[in-house]
Amino acid sequence: MNTDVIVLAAGKGTRMYSDLPKVLHPLGGKPMLSHVLDAALAIDADTIHLVTGYQSDQVRSYFDQHPVATPLNWVEQTEQLGTGHAVMQAAPMVDDSKTVLVLYGDVPLISPASLRQLREKAQTTGIAVLTLITEDPTGLGRIIRDDHDRIVAIVEEKDATPEQKQITEINTGIMAFNAGRLKTWLSSLNTANAQGEYYLTDTVAIACRSGCTVGSLQTFDENEVQGVNNRLQLADLERSYQLQQARQLALQGVTVADPARLDVRGPLTVGRDVSLDVNVILEGRNRLGDRVSIGPNVVLIDCDIGDDCVILANSHLQGAALSSACTIGPFARLRPGTELGSHAKIGNFVETKKAVIGAGSKVNHLSYIGDASVAENVNIGAGTITCNYDGVNKHKTTIEAGVFVGSNTALVAPVSIGRNATIGAGSVITADIPENDLAVARGKQRNISGWKRPVKK
């Protein structure tokens, strides 16, 4: 589309009171800056020029580890002398024939649709501004229009007259330019203002004096142009973002018990007739098949949940893959590497890790199954643990089909349990069990008659 994007992300974010660069603070499970880059990618930007300053090494390190599809041209602004100065650092790297959009790393919810419309206007006029009418314009630059309703200037609040401060149409900061004209206008900027900075917004008045008509696009969504300067604003924007995700899911046919109590922090794929109860958190990349039911207070991280699965309250699943019709919880924890066959059941206060559990198998209560292969139709009794760690190395437990494990059993890995074997309750299994055998490994009971309990002296 012959478009470049300049993203301003050099600010320190003093009011965040954080050692983390402001643009790396997460919203919806990823840094604010990542949202902005996604919007730039959605409009097919040829190159994204990322202007950084404060802790630029930390910002760059993050995106080295999480690369984006379009090349990033890293530009460092060593002195923060205003938005105009920041754009000056990147503008020479943009071809004069291109349309260039200026975005902000702390304005994360800008929509690709608005950027496309703004680009179209700039391609006609050479400059275009995204504006918003707001009830409270305090602290924001005002849009100055002439008698013909044409934009002729943008005045920052610190430089505005009392009359201008009454204007409720504000500058969002997001602008689009013909790159060649932008470079000319940038060369005319000066610091003769209340903050002693180079204002990018001064290009509007300069463009008007050169005979250009300034294009404008008004957004009616205050959240898409809301900048984040402190953690309260970030929290407010997070809730707005999450409410938007919940509404979209509901429109896709998902039953959302309370849109105000759902967090989606990554890509989510859903089937038909999915139900999400309150306080569900979906983090990372998740897939929910048809007729999946998620109970209250459930956390899913990078999970693949098959059709007809039921996940009951207060369960925590990470890196788990479930086939169809599994039941999980309540209060279950499935750690990475857990794979369940169809109709498998993991009950309350059960933890699994790197465990492949076959179809129809059950681990119902108070158990830990780690580094294990469990075949079909196995019943594991309450209080069973796989002793997989010897203090140095992890070892595997193999349980073949049809095995019955009695309650309060310890399986000391490495160990294999043969098909249809039975283990008596309270056993400590340290050797392999052949198929169809009964294994009982516990101390012999001894009853002492006439026993008297000690009494307190």
Q: Residue 71 has what pLDDT?
A: 83
The total of structural domains in the chain comes to 2
Asked if 321 and 413 sit in the same domain, the reply is: yes
Which is the catalytic residue, given 85, 316, 343, 365?
Answer: 365
Reading the chain (457 residues) residue by residue, the pLDDT tens digits are 699 999 999 988 899 999 999 999 999 999 999 999 999 999 999 999 999 998 999 999 999 999 998 889 999 998 889 999 999 999 999 999 999 999 999 999 999 999 999 999 999 999 999 999 999 999 899 999 999 999 999 999 999 999 999 999 999 999 999 999 999 999 999 999 989 999 999 999 999 999 999 999 999 999 999 999 999 999 999 999 999 999 999 999 999 999 999 999 999 999 999 999 999 999 999 999 999 999 999 999 999 999 999 999 999 999 999 999 999 999 999 999 999 999 999 999 999 999 999 999 999 999 999 999 999 999 999 999 999 999 999 999 999 999 999 999 999 999 999 999 999 999 999 999 999 999 999 988 899 999 998 899 8
> Strand locations in 239-367, DSSP E?
255-256, 262-265, 268-270, 275-276, 280-283, 286-288, 293-294, 299-301, 304-305, 310-311, 316-318, 321-322, 327-328, 333-334, 339-340, 345-348, 351-357, 362-365
CATH at residue 168: 3.90.550.10
Asked if 184 and 272 sit in the same domain, the reply is: no
Give the three-state DSSP class for 242.
helix
Residue by residue, DSSP assigns 95-138 as -TTSEEEEEETT-TT--HHHHHHHHHHHHHHSEEEEEEE-S--T
Q: Identify whether 139 is part of a domain.
A: yes
Phi-psi region of 224 (alpha: psi -120 to 50; beta: other; left: phi over 0): alpha
Asked if 209 and 79 sit in the same domain, the reply is: yes
Asked if 179 and 315 sit in the same domain, the reply is: no
pTM of the model: 0.91
Asked if 293 and 355 sit in the same domain, the reply is: yes
Asked if 217 and 267 sit in the same domain, the reply is: no
Place of tokens 């602008």: 175
Q: Residue 70 has what pLDDT?
A: 85
Q: What angle do CA 148, 151, 157 make, to 5 degrees?
A: 130
Catalytic residue flag (residue 365): yes
Q: Identify whether 451 is part of a domain.
A: no
Q: Residue 194 has what pLDDT?
A: 86
Asked if 221 and 261 sit in the same domain, the reply is: no
Q: Identify whether 234 is part of a domain.
A: no
Asked if 279 and 217 sit in the same domain, the reply is: no
Domain that holds residue 309: 257-439
Q: 360-390 burial, b if ≥16 CB within 10 A, otherwise e? A: bbbbbebbbbbbbbbbbbbbbbbbbbbbbee
Q: Identify whether 274 is part of a domain.
A: yes
Query: Is the Cβ–Cβ distance between 413 and 397 less than 8 Å?
Result: yes
Q: Distances in Å between the alpha carbon of 367 and those of 75, 177, 260, 390?
A: 54, 63, 34, 18
